Chains A and B, each alone.
Chain A
Amino acid sequence: MTSDAEAAPDAAEGREPVLSVRDLKKYYFEQDSFLDSLLRRETQSVKAVDGISFDIQKGETLGLVGESGCGKSTTGETLLRLREATDGAIEFEGDDVLGMDRDELKAFRRRAQIVFQDPFSSLDPRMTIGDILVEPLKIHDLPAEVPSEQSKGEVRREKAKDYLERVGLSAGQIDRYPHEFSGGQRQRIGIARALMLEPEFIVLDEPVSALDVSVQAQVLNLLDDLQDEFGLTYLFIAHDLSVVRHICDRVAVMYLGNIVELGPTDDLFDDPKHPYTQALLDSVPRAAVEEQGRRVEPLPGDVPSPRNPPSGCRFRTRCPQVIPPKDVEIDQSTYREVMDLRDRIESNDLNLDTVWERADDENRSDKPAFKREFRAEFFAQGLSGENEATVERALDALAEDDHDRAAEILRERFASVCEQVRPVLQSGSHPAACHLYEQPERTEMAAEAPADD
């Protein structure tokens, strides 16, 4: 969070990262009782985080931004082993975090801490502020030695008072209970608790999302000051892009368990590469008069379920720039319609009853009428040439209720590179995982592709 932001990207290179994450995965398997497993054919997994890699440099603030369910909070908690990773590697200053045993993990906890989102749930309501702040010291039996004239308890309490003042509260409030404080004050206490062990690295999991804007600004300024004072490294998890822009040196954008773009803050905000980042930035309403009446082209639809994510590029089902095959000439909106149609056929989500109803044919024999109605419902404009012929053949198959063949016909002609190959982040300071940009060698990725199906 150095205020001279332009220094950040260069500073990121050449230094040893504090934290380095490689291909981290976190899948949740639905907790089944033995009866469920008796009845269910296969266990479903939720791919909350699906192979992400990034580094965090000493003293920087890396932002992890994305919409709800993209896996950003899971990432934060998995980094600190509050959840067990499914696969991947995490290195903290050269130590293998995932391989740590109990004692090593306890030692690791002194160096890496976390601040949570909800100021009302993050403090134990049955403890006084003093108890809350002293608890970390008790757990680690700190300080190891105390001056002879003072007891350990006194030393700890002094330290708690000191940190309470450093986060902007008064030491006199130490014996109060959490409910006597406002949301912003409670968030300050949560920060003080994380600082008590004097960590080097803090995961800030949506630390200001639950706060009102005026209080949010206070806490952001505090975080800024503390970073300077203690030389902290932050992983700042948030969904609010304005806040991220304000506080972060570099930003990683997540979508459905993947990092889609990573770069220095100003680069990423001024020149977003990934279509998702572009859409995201475009969607944010700014508190400025220029915003009045601005109409954004929002992304269509909802984020797909992480239980069954799309193959290839996770974003392709909503992407406004899906890449058609090289030999197919088709405009983007029509291509989107064709792709949506195919997705629905493939996921068995296409109900032809209404179309037949509109075609006014109970016997389902009037195919031309069916195709006419179908086009009216699914295609805004006409198609032409070979595209038209392919769609026609697919509709014929649909009219005969042969969904598999229809999908097959469409797939043959319209299959996109976006659905076949999962794009990865390139090297460099501002990579984007998107086929619109140069991707590494194909052979490398082909090996990875089957895992997505």
Chain B
Amino acid sequence: MISPRTLRNLKKELSHSVLAKAGIVVVVFMVAMAIFAPLVAPYSPGQQNLDQAREPPLGFTTKETKEVTKTENGSVVIENGQVVTENQTVYNNATLAHPLGTDGNGRDILSRVIYGARTSMLVGLLGTALAALIGVTVGLSAGYYRGRVDDALMRTADIMLAFPSLILAVALVGVWGQAAFRIPDPFVATGFTEWWRGLVGLSAGPMPGDIVLPGTVIVVVALVNWVWFARVSRGEALSVREEEYVKAAKALGANDSRVLGRHVLPNAITPILVLATVQVAAIILLESALSFLGLSGASVSWGFDIALGRQYQSTSWWISAIPGIAIVLTVIGLNLVGDWLRDALDPGIDGEGGV
């Protein structure tokens, strides 16, 4: 399906562009992190340690004034029958145990970011795949057959576009609730995790046994975003169907399914591919927004952690900042890959979507 010329263009563009290389590195890194989370995360993302709460990331020290019980010679001072308190300056030092610091409950932020990548990637990839499946099927048929099918699609798309995607997603989550499926994590279930963590000397603490698949959210983001795929593939089908090779195929006696499958789809696939890359980014942003609003049903998610950090925003900025940086890096990476594909293949598409 991908001709040697396409591959050559991709390689050529890649060799020219530092940004494209950076994008690929970031995306591959994030995907690897998501897949191998139980093998590389220092701790379980849910493991709390209130003694080590709000530890800053490496390189930072925070100073805060705390009200503590006054002690003298190791015993609590009591005056007038009450425990005396005093204001004391407490220094929170970064420790190597938590390179990215800890959150309000003393959970390791690095571990949460690694596990958060799973949620983002699952929703991003599955949501995009579902949206593409719906959108491309509908769009190609509409563009190819035109007429009433096309009319109906375009009107539906107009109505869909009148709802801001975030608001529609919120409403749909409201309708369906926040169903999430739990799938056993293969690394943990096979015991590989334990063996591996022992081998490389990571803390053995029990890692979560399930991968949480936020089912509603995946369906919702797909329902909200399929319109972009439909628009692009419709446009492609409209232009490809006018190509003489499509007419020639019909003249040779090819039926519609052959023309659609052998000629229209392969020639429409490039811009759809570019759109898909950009859509993964858009859907990751949408998922994080839903999580931020507490609607996604996932307990470990970048957006959710940003929201959790807000109650400590006056003292512990990193709790919100670090998951956000993870989002930005991922989305930049995907956008760079999208730009690379677009420049190399030059399909000329519009419509990006986003939060």
Contact = CB atoms under 8 A, between A and B. Distances in A.
A interface, size bucket = 20 to 34
Contacts of A116: 244, 247-248
Contacts, number: 66
Given A31-B146, A139-B258, A190 B252 contact: no
B255 to A, nearest CB: 8
A117 B245 CA distance: 11
Please indicate which of the listed interface residues A33, A80, A124, A197 has the most CB atoms of chain B within 10 Å of its own CB.
Answer: A124
A33 B151 contact: yes
Contacts of A126: 1, 3, 266-267
A271 B327 CA distance: 79
Given A77-B247, A122-B245, A197 B252 contact: yes
A114 B266 CA distance: 23
Interface string B117-148: 00000000000000000000000000000110
A106 interface: yes
A267 interface: no
Interface in B148-168: 151, 154
Given A126-B1, A126-B267, A110 B253 contact: yes
Contacts of B253: 105-106, 109-110, 136, 139-140
B268 to A, nearest CB: 10
Interface in A105-123: 105-106, 109-110, 113-114, 116-118, 121-123
A114 B245 CA distance: 11
B251 A109 contact: yes
Contacts of A179: 5
Interface in A121-157: 121-126, 135-136, 139-140
A125 B3 contact: yes
Given A124-B263, A125-B3, A126-B267, A117 B251 contact: no
B109 to A, nearest CB: 47
B250 interface: yes
Interface residues of B, number: 24
Query: Which of B247, B252, B263 is the most central at the interface, judged by chain A CB atoms within 10 Å of its CB?
Result: B252
Nearest to B147: A31
A139 B252 contact: yes
Nearest to A140: B253
B4 interface: yes
B243 interface: yes
B249 interface: yes
A34 B253 CA distance: 33
A161 interface: no
Interface in A65-121: 77, 80, 82, 105-106, 109-110, 113-114, 116-118, 121
A177 interface: yes
Contacts of A122: 243-245, 248
B251 A80 contact: yes
Interface in A171-228: 177, 179, 190, 193, 197
Which 9 pairs across A and B sit closest by C-beta, in order of nearness? Answer: A109-B253, A122-B244, A116-B244, A124-B245, A136-B252, A121-B244, A126-B266, A106-B253, A114-B251
12 contacts: A110-B253, A113-B252, A121-B243, A123-B245, A124-B262, A125-B3, A136-B253, A139-B252, A139-B254, A190-B248, A193-B252, A197-B252
